Amino acid sequence: MITIKDIADEIGVSTAIVSIVLSGRSAANKRASPELATKIKAVAAEFGYTPNVSARALSKKRQNTICMLASRKTGQAESTDASATLFGVSKVLSANSFRTVLQYFETEEEFTGCIGNLRRQFMDGVVVDPGWIFNPEKYRDSIEQKGLPTLFFLQNAAENIFDIGINHDEVSTVATEHLVARGCKKIAFFDMGGAAGQLRLEGYQKAIANAGMQFDKRMICHLSGKDKYKPAIADRGIGKMIEAGIRFDGIVAASDGQAFVLLHRLQSLGIKVPEDVKIIGVDNSPICELSFVKISSVSGQPELRGEIAARKLLHRIAPEEFDGGAAGEITNIPPKVVARESTLKN
C-alpha cells in the first residue's frame, strides 16, 4: 500500500506538505510552491496513491460516511421505486468521497433498534426514508441528540424542519393540468382522504378552476374504510359512479395501483383507455409499465430527492466544504408528469 510517507521519501520532503497538497488544503493554507505541488501530485499519480480513509477519519474525526436508514417493503410494485432514492443519495455521496452505509429495517421495532445503534464514531450524518412509519418526525431528535445531522424524507414537510417532502397539492394539480392539456373536459378525482387527500383535492380544484372548468362534486369519488388504500376499493368506487350515470373522460387516481385497477375495470366494461377515458396515477411506480395500456403517472422524482437530500446533508456536516442549500429550509421537489399510453393517444 502506498502511503503519504512513500511519496515524501521519494521526493525528499516531509509528509506534512504532501498531506496538505494531496488533500487539497494547499490553496487555503497558502502553502507549497506550485512546482512542488505538481511534483507531489505527479508522484502520487505514478505510485497510484489512494488515501487511507481510516487514518484520515481517525485524525480528522470525520468518517466520510453517512448512514441511510431505509424501510424495506416486500412486493412494492405499487409504490415509489425505493431504490431510486437510495441511488440518488449514493451517487452524490460517492462523488464527494463519502460512503453510503445501508441499513434496512422492516418493522418499527427494527427501526428504533437501528436508531439506537447510530454512533458519531461510525458516521457523520443520517438519511432516513421512513416509508410507512407513522409520524417519523418523532424520532428525529433522538438521532440529532447524538450530534448526527439527520434528514428525513417526509410525505408532508412541516415548517422549520430540515427535510425533504412532497407537495401533495402540486401532485394533483400537475396531474389534472396534464389531463386538461390532453383534452379532458370532465375529470374525476379519487380521494384517498386524510390530510394528504385534502391537499390533493385542493390541488385538483385549483387546476380545474385555472382551466375555467366548473367544479362538480359528483366527480369526486371518496374512498373510505380501513381498506381505503387498497386498490380494490377504487374498483367498487368507480362501479358506483358508473351505475349512478356519472360521465367522465379523465381520472386522477390516488395511486398507481388504483389507476391499474380502474384501467382494467373500464376495459372490462368496454370503455377504452385512453380513447374514451384518460387515466393518470401517482408515484410512477413499476406497475405503470406492466399493464397492456401503460399508465401515465406523477413522479415525486425520487432520484432527484435523493441527490438533493445528500447535498443538504453534506452541507450541514461541513458547510465550508459543501454547498448544498441553506440548512433549516424545506425543499419540496416539484412533481413531474411521466406521460404514457393511458393519457397519450387521442
Of DNA, a second copy, none, which one sits near residue 82, judging by CB under 5 to 8 A according to partner kind? a second copy
Rule CB under 8 A: say whether 292 interacts with a second copy: yes
Q: Tell me which stretch binds a second copy (CB under 8 A): 7-15, 117-125, 148-156, 241-249.
A: 117-125
Contact 332, 157 (CB under 8 A): yes
* Closest-CA residue to 171 (of 206, 132, 139, 213): 206
Beta bridge partners of 196: none
Contacts to DNA by CB under 7 A: 1, 3-5, 12-17, 19-20, 22-23, 25, 29-33, 36, 49, 51-52, 55-56, 58-61
Q: How far is the CB of 52 from a second copy (least distance, A)?
A: 5
Please count the other Cβ atoms lying within 10 Å of the Cβ belonging to residue 210: 12
Residue 169 CB-density burial (10 A; 0-12 exposed, 13-18 middle, 19+ buried): buried
Of a second copy, DNA, none, which one sits near residue 205, judging by CB under 5 to 8 A according to partner kind? none
Q: Tell me which stretch binds a second copy (CB under 8 A): 152-160, 180-188, 257-265, 272-280.
A: 257-265
Subset of residues 7 to 66 that bind a second copy, contact rule: CB under 8 A: 50-55, 57-58, 63, 65
* Closest-CA residue to 342 (of 232, 262, 238): 262
Q: What single-letter DSSP state applies at residue 16?
A: H
Buried b (16+ CB within 10 A) or exposed e, 122-134: ebbbbbbbbbebe
Rule CB under 8 A: say whether 257 interacts with a second copy: yes
* Closest-CA residue to 62 (of 21, 89, 97): 97
Question: Which of 30, 45, 109, 121: binder of a second copy (CB under 8 A)?
Answer: 121
Catalog residues that contact a second copy under the rule CB under 8 A.
Answer: 1, 50-55, 57-58, 63, 65, 68, 72, 74-78, 81-84, 86-87, 90-91, 94, 99-104, 106, 119-122, 257, 260, 264, 285-290, 292
